[in-house]
Structure 1
Amino acid sequence: MSIQTSDDHESLADPALLDKIDKLFACNVGEYINLPQLVVVGDQSSGKSSVLEGLTKLAFPRDSGLCTRFATQIIFRRIEAGERTITDTIIPGSDANNPSQLREWKASDLQSLDGAAFSAVMSEVHALMGLSTSKEDGKPTFSSNVLRLEICGPDEDHLSVIDVPGIFRNTTPGVTTKGDKDMVREMVLEYMRNPRSIMLTVVPANVDIATQEIIDMEREVDPEGKRTLGVLTKPDLIDRGAESRVVDLVEDREMRLKLGWIIVRNLGQMELQEGITDRDAAEERFRLTPPWNTLSKDRFGIKALKSRLQETVTVNARETFPEVRGEISKKLRDCQNELQALGVERETREQQLGYLLGIMNLFQDITRQALTTSYSSNDSFDSQWELRLATRIVNRNDVFSKDMAVWGHKYEFARDADGDSNSSDSEVKHEDEDVESARAVARVEHLKIRKTSDMPDLEVLVHSMETDRVVTPRSHIHSWIEKQYRDSRGFEIGTFSSTLLATTMKQQSDKWTSIARAYIRYHLCPVTMSHRACHHGILDCPCVWFRYCHHPIISNLVIVH
């Protein structure tokens, strides 16, 4: 990979594109869409903060109480003219308790971010986010909010980086808990899982790299190493004789990463306390010592890292931004469609009444079309067959008619050999076939007079789920009629009592009541197939009770017409 020098950084960066991405971050679009980003990850005490200091030239607070306890987005932008400006804002997390207050907070009167100024800002942000400042206050240690630092000036390079809390394995009594450990790990993983993120993975060179938890996490989310740029810190602390292993790693002889490895030598604790050591000069002197002088310049030092990052971030942004724009456009269209579906504003009483009237008119139109079988008038009839009200009623009538014809009488009438005097042989045969077919389909010994299962909350309103015996065979009808005749005889001579017909008809039609009640008083809602009740009958009564209908168009409406 060819690396440009710092003199032509402006040819690598794409300010307009990076500005668009940063504005999307500021609008919290990253909560809904994966945005291209550079995220710095690593275990605690891996040298992550020192690497960021070298990249950003900012004096990160080293007070243990002000260490990274939330994600920090640092944005550098070059402007043509004007003074250097520093603006601090907060992007609330999804679980923030005071999102409005966090969103309104802004610090824009900073002249610099030296150690004292940075510590003051961090202390204010900690308090605003409600983070713990002592062991006894009971407040959370970490937060999902994001601190956003935007630094613009004529001498700044175009770079945007996100710093997240460091992974830790052991908890500190009174400071961190197992829940904090799991929260930080999940927070870091959330940034790493973003397929459009470039991971700057910081690992100390003086330990066994395989034991670093961040390496396991990196392999989990980026098994092919396409999005990972490795940074090795603390090369000056490597045991003598073990340098060759680190050199092999940097030269891509093992644990290969597509973006490679770079060694960075940060200042030691004594050098930091003295405050007189030039970081870049000390790093350059160390690079010239064996065996580090065998490495190429693009694999050692903070300048090489910054150049590599600018190139990598710009290429990543150019490749992924078309997809980001497409996803944003799609989500905007979806939101606009949802807003349009909500209808006009309904703030005033008149607007609310007008909206309800519109719903009622729409329901009335669909009902009229359903009753007149004008199914071509509305596309809803194609996508929701259950809206075809008239058709469903007619089909239900056919079921009721067949039930009455097949099961309605107690005894089946016998026919003579010549058939019914009012019907042709073919008609009688066809009718018999229909009856036998209906019985075959039923395959039951008892008829269920209602076609739907019980619904507890409607049991008071509807007819009970009764069953009845099948029709008595026609061979028994003669003996039954004879018994009815003998049980109804009076003082008539040579004839039978006029009450015989009423008596036989009463018993022969005994099932009519239960079948008719089940048909009239209990049906499926013709709109949603859900249960509903009508006290008078759907065909005869002008009452159409949709109280139990949950269709979105007529939900919670009671229509009487």
Structure 2
Amino acid sequence: MSNLFASAASGLASGWRGTAGSTESQATPGAVQDLTDPKQVGVFDALKELSRLKVTSTIEIPQLIVVGDQSTGKSSVLEAIGRFHFPVAGRVCTQFPTKLILRRSSEEHTVVSIQPAPSRTDADRERLEKFREELSRPDEFPALVDRARAELGVPASSNYGAGGSQEPLRFVEDVLVVKSSGPDLVQVDLVDLPGLFTAETQQQDGVGMRIVNDMVRQYIRSRNSLVLLVVSVATSFANQAARAMIQDMAQTDRTLEDRVIGVMTNPDRAVSVEDALDVLNGSLDSTNLRHKWLVVKNQGQQERSNEPLDQRDWREEHFFLNHPEWNRVPRTQCGINALRSTLRVALLQHTQAALPGVIVEVEATVKTLEARLDAGVSRSTPEARQVFLCDIAQKFSDLTREACSGTYQDEQCKALHKVGDECRVCARFFPRLRDDSPASQDRKLRANIRLLSRAFASAMREYGKTEEIVSSSNNSNTSINTNPNRETDHSAHEPHDVAGLLSPDTIAAHYTFPAPGRISHQDLNAWLAARIPQWRGREPQGEASENTYHLLFEHQSEKWPAIAAAHLDAVWQAVQRFVDVALTASCPADDDVRAAIRTHLTQPALADLQRASHRAMLSLIGCHARGRTGFYDGFVDVGPLRRRARGLSARLDRSDDDGTAGGSFAGDMLGFVLSAAGGNAAWAKSSIGVLAGELARGAVLGQLGGALADVFDGTGESAGGAGDGEVGREAYFVLVPRSMDNLAAARAVEHVEMFYEMSMMSFVGYVNSLVVESGILHELPRAILTQHRILREDAAKIELIAGEKASDARKRERDQADLDTLKRVLETLKGFSG
């Protein structure tokens, strides 16, 4: 086989053209280089650098695929474009794709290999990938192709019949790759595909037809491919299978109108020159291609074996100039030079169209490398490591301070760059107003914790009491309004009032508990009265011991520690999420350093602060423990009495007709007031006045009014001395029920109920302010990661955290080299795309 390899061994780009049986001759200089715009040389070099650096996968150097029916002269056209002869004989057809990869390089080198099809088994893939041959002379190529055929299992079509194979031809998707490099080569991939056929023969069956059609369609679909559609005017234009395929695919892929370039061959054997001229002027073809059709005169088999390619170009030009009909074709649409010019423009536009996306990716990579280099400054000395960590600590403490104070101000950038340019410092940490994502809420730490605190207060109101006291008339549905701030409709205080702001999982895990039990006053009094004798102390008969009051409150508030602990756990989870995102923002580029900071600095500090918060919580819970009366001494005012009297009045209105129950309750309340006064006549008088006003509409006013009027005179002292005191006591004892323990129990229940709400509200406030606000939010900015702490750490720990490995230094050097390369590439791409 002759004239096979003008590029590999003899310098394709230099213009040498080999012929069989003759010495190599010098061709017209620059013929192949005309395929590429001069600007593209730099762009292809840039794309090659991106490929080496593996920066982007959105673009490759464009490949030109040649599509056409069998015997339309595809290989001949490809040879004329790339100055490379494909081995074609009289009965040989292309049975597998052949890809010619031309690359610019300082050295000339040609390698032939096989790229296995995806459908191959692993064993076949491994075998085919081992096929690799280097060529030193052009005449080695035919034998190499035969060896490749043997590996692929596809005998040549020339061997069919006459003692050869009787099986239909096999077509495979494996690609024979010929990669040639040289100092002046155009950078393009040229792919010769098997020709399409529409009729089955003994040599080519329906299976082969389907394989070829699917293969060609797959290559055409690739947006990286420019399609050279080759049709022969020796056949009717309307009967070309390749043209029909393009028309069909263009219905769903409009990019084909830009990517397809139509070429007619065999003008010397045209069945209708007029039809061909109509196609060239755009009046016959309906494919709507943006590029005008072209016509070239391809070589016959004999010419390809004996005629140098520069001679081929001369004969073609002479044909179009002197033919009486073809000489009407514009010079821009006939001949191989016109085709090269069209391809050059198409390749240029195709590359320009794809470059904006590549530029965006390169710019992002540049910024990533810059950020990594900023964070990865040399840390070879103790001082450098300390400065490195201090910068991280400063950033972290600034973000933490803003988040804990609730100001949410980002750092002001002092770097010199254009407005609108991306900058690591300018990048926002705190979200914008429209950002409602859970991740953005994690950054707004104070707001997040205040939401948790609201949920905690609602949970304490809804679930904190062990037993809810309800009226005896309907102990399953009607709650006594013992809390004036707790309306009959509980929805304003339930945890779901933050359901739109906190996740359902958070509410379910930390702020949902079993509902309180429900018990009537009568049942609770009876239950407590039965236990008063069991806890007797030194108190007189008819009084409950101090222990009874403490134990009843302890009973009603025994769920507080669990609810508070769950709230504290939710707060610490929120803190941990914030610390993670703040640390990532403060040390974005070095995963190893960030992990070491977390292990050796932030996590131990958080653990210490967490233990301190639990100690504060335990101390606060202890303030409500049995015997701690001091917590309640500040709650003496008439407000609670007024509210309790309202509740009592409502109960008296629901008393029995004979007034017995009302009298009992009135006696309970009067006894409570007199005993609570403890000798403070002014306070007792004021309290009794409140009660009298609230009970004015009660059913026992007749029983209670006279007694209350005689207890104190207008001065606040006992009226009339000892005798009047007796009147007061007699009035009191008129209302005393038969059971002294029942009276003591009723008084204890009223006392504990009155102070439960004040105590619960105070407990919630102290948890949120003392434990969470002061103990956590106030301490975080100065307790976790600060410059002061870095300066106090010993050198060994600093080196453990920020010490630079030899591999890190090498990586930084590579990053710097890559960054310099990418900046040059970016400048080239922007200049080309602009």
Report the TM-score, using the length of structure 2 for normalisation.
0.45
What are the equivalent positions in structure 2 for 1:499-514 lying under 5 Å apart? 499-514=547-562
How far the C-alpha of 1:230 sits from its partner, in A, is: 1.0
What residue number does 1:477 align with? 521
Quote the Cα distance in structure 1 between the aligned partners of 2:88 and 2:154.
22
Aligned-partner residue type, residue 613 of structure 2: L
Q: Please tell me the residue identity of whatever aligns with 2:49.
A: C
Equivalent in 532, 556, 564 of residue 488 of structure 1: 532
Q: Give, in angstroms, the shift of residue 7 of structure 1.
A: 12
Structure 2 residue matching 1:72: 3-state secondary structure: strand
After superposition, what is the alpha-carbon deviation per residue over 1:206-259, rounded to whole angstroms, capped at 9, x for unaligned? 264552234544665446834533111245566x5x554434323322115343
Q: Per-residue deviation at 1:485?
A: 1.5
Question: Given the alignment, which residue of 40, 61, 64 partners 1:18?
Answer: 40
- Give structure 2 stretches of 5+ with no counterpart: 1-27, 156-171, 198-202, 412-427, 433-439, 472-480, 581-602, 618-774, 777-783, 786-792, 794-834
Compute the displacement of 1:89 (Å). 7.7
- Structure number with bigger Rg: 2
Partner of 2:344: 313
Partner of 1:419: none
Letter aligned with residue 278 of structure 2: D
The alignment-based identity, stated in percent, is 16
Give the CA deviation at 1:51. 0.6
Matched, 1:467 2:467: no
Q: Does 1:442 align with 2:494?
A: yes
**Aligned counterpart in structure 2 of residue 254 of structure 1, from 276, 281, 284:** 284
1:229 is paired with a residue whose SS is: strand
Q: What's the CA shift for 1:398?
A: 3.7
Contact 1:72 1:149 in 2 (8 A): no
The whole-number CA distance in structure 1 between the counterparts of 2:176 and 2:405 is 58
Q: Which has the higher helix share?
A: 2
Q: Deviations over 1:322-377 (max 9, x none)?
A: 77776555433311211233331789898998778876675455445544556436
The corresponding residue for 1:424 is none
Q: Within 5 Å, which residues of 2 pair with 1:356-367? A: 363=396, 366-367=399-400
Distance 1:440-1:375 versus aligned 2 partners, 3 A rule:
closer
Q: 1:410 to 1:22 in 2, by over 3 A?
A: closer
1:425 corresponds in structure 2 to none
Counterpart of 2:329 in structure 1: which amino acid?
Answer: S
Instruction: Determine the structure 2 residue equivalent to 1:539.
Output: 613
**Partner residue in 2 for 1:518:** 566
> Residue in 2 aligned with 1:432?
484
Q: In the alignment, does 2:87 pair up with 1:43? A: no
- Matched to 1:18, the amino acid is Q
**Residue 420 (structure 2) pairs with residue 389 (structure 1):** no
| Whole-angstrom distance in 1 between the partners of 2:616 and 2:548 | 38
In structure 2, the CA distance between the partners of 1:505 and 1:388, relative to structure 1 (3 Å rule), is same
Which residue is 1:296 aligned to?
329
For residues 375-401 of structure 1, the C-alpha deviation after alignment (integer angstroms, 9 at most, x for no partner) is: 436452346442343443344234323
Deviations, residues 102-133 of structure 1 (Å, cap 9, x unaligned): 9xx998x97xx8x526658x769x98xxx973
Supply the distance in 1 between the matched residues of 2:249 and 2:353 (Cα, whole angstroms).
Answer: 26
Within the alignment, does 1:401 sit opposite 2:457 as a pair?
yes
Say which of 409, 414, 420 aligns to 1:376: 409
Amino acid of the structure 1 residue aligned with 2:575: P
| Structure 1 gap ranges (5+) | 1-5, 78-83, 153-157, 416-428, 456-461, 546-552, 555-560
Residue 260 of structure 2 corresponds to 228
Alignment of 1:22-171 (within 5 A): 22-27=44-49, 32=57, 34=59, 39-43=64-68, 45=70, 46-62=72-88, 69-74=97-102, 88=110, 115-116=138-139, 133-135=151-153, 142-143=174-175, 147-150=179-182, 152=184, 162-166=189-193
Q: How far is 1:42 from its partner?
A: 0.6
Give yes or no for contact 2:98–2:192 (8 Å, CA) kept in 1. yes
RMSD: 6.1
Q: CA separation of 1:313/1:36 partners in 2, compared to 1, >3 Å: closer, same or farther?
A: farther
The answer to whether the 8 A contact 1:42-1:214 is kept is: no
SS at match of 2:533: coil
What is the total number of aligned residue pairs between the two structures?
481
Q: Matched residues in 1 for 2:204 and 2:393: separation?
A: 64
Q: What amino acid is aligned across from residue 231 of structure 2 in structure 1?
A: V
Q: Which amino acid aligns with 1:27?
A: E
Quick one: structure 1 residues 67 and 387, their matched pair in 2 at CA, closer, same or farther if it must change by over 3 Å? same
| Cα shift at 1:201 | 2.0
2:376 is the alignment partner of 1:344: yes
What's the offset of the Cα at 1:180? 8.7
Does the CA contact (< 8 Å) of 1:263 and 1:299 recur in 2?
A: no
**Is 1:331–2:361 an aligned residue pair?**
yes
Give secondary structure in 2 for the equivalent of 1:467: coil
Corresponding letter in the other structure for 1:20: G
SS at match of 1:164: strand
Residues 298, 305 of structure 1: 8 Å contact kept = no
1:494-529 CA-to-partner distances (Å, cap 9, x unmatched) read 323444223422332243243233223455423538
The answer to whether the 8 Å contact 1:411/1:477 transfers is no
| Deviation sequence 1:458-503 (CA, Å, 0-9, x none) | xxxx989963225748xx3354134312343357623234442234
Q: Deviation per CA, 1:141-185: give whole Å up to 9, x if none.
A: 535978354474xxxxx9765412415668989x98988975664
Structure 1 residues 272, 349: closer, same or farther in 2, change over 3 A?
Answer: same
Residues 385, 148 of structure 1: alpha-carbon distance in 2 compared, 3 angstrom cutoff:
farther
The whole-number CA distance in structure 1 between the counterparts of 2:504 and 2:314 is 86
In structure 1, what is the Cα distance between the partners aligned to 2:391 and 2:215?
Answer: 49
Residue in 1 that maps onto 2:229: 201
Going by fraction, where is strand more abundant, 1 or 2? 1
Distance 1:542 1:471, change over 3 A: closer
C-alpha distance in 2 between matches for 1:360 and 1:106:
58
8 A contact 1:414–1:477 mirrored in 2: yes
State which of 183, 193, 211 in structure 1 corresponds to 2:241.
211
Q: Secondary structure at the match of 1:409?
A: coil
**Which segment drifts farther, 278-287 or 377-386?**
278-287
What is the TM-score of this pair, normalised by structure 1? Answer: 0.62
Shift of 1:73: 4.1
Whether the 8 Å CA contact 2:464–2:557 is kept in 1: the answer is yes
Alignment partner for residue 269 of structure 1, among 301, 319, 323? 301
Question: Closer, same or farther in 2 for the Cα pair 1:464/1:68, shift >3 Å?
Answer: same
Distance 1:261 1:314, change over 3 A: closer
CA distance in 2, matches of 1:514, 1:434: 22
CA shift in 2, pair 1:312/1:526, >3 Å: same
Q: Per the alignment, in what secondary structure is the counterpart of residue 369 of structure 2?
A: helix
Distance 2:214 2:389 in 1: 49
Aligned residue in 2 for 1:550: none
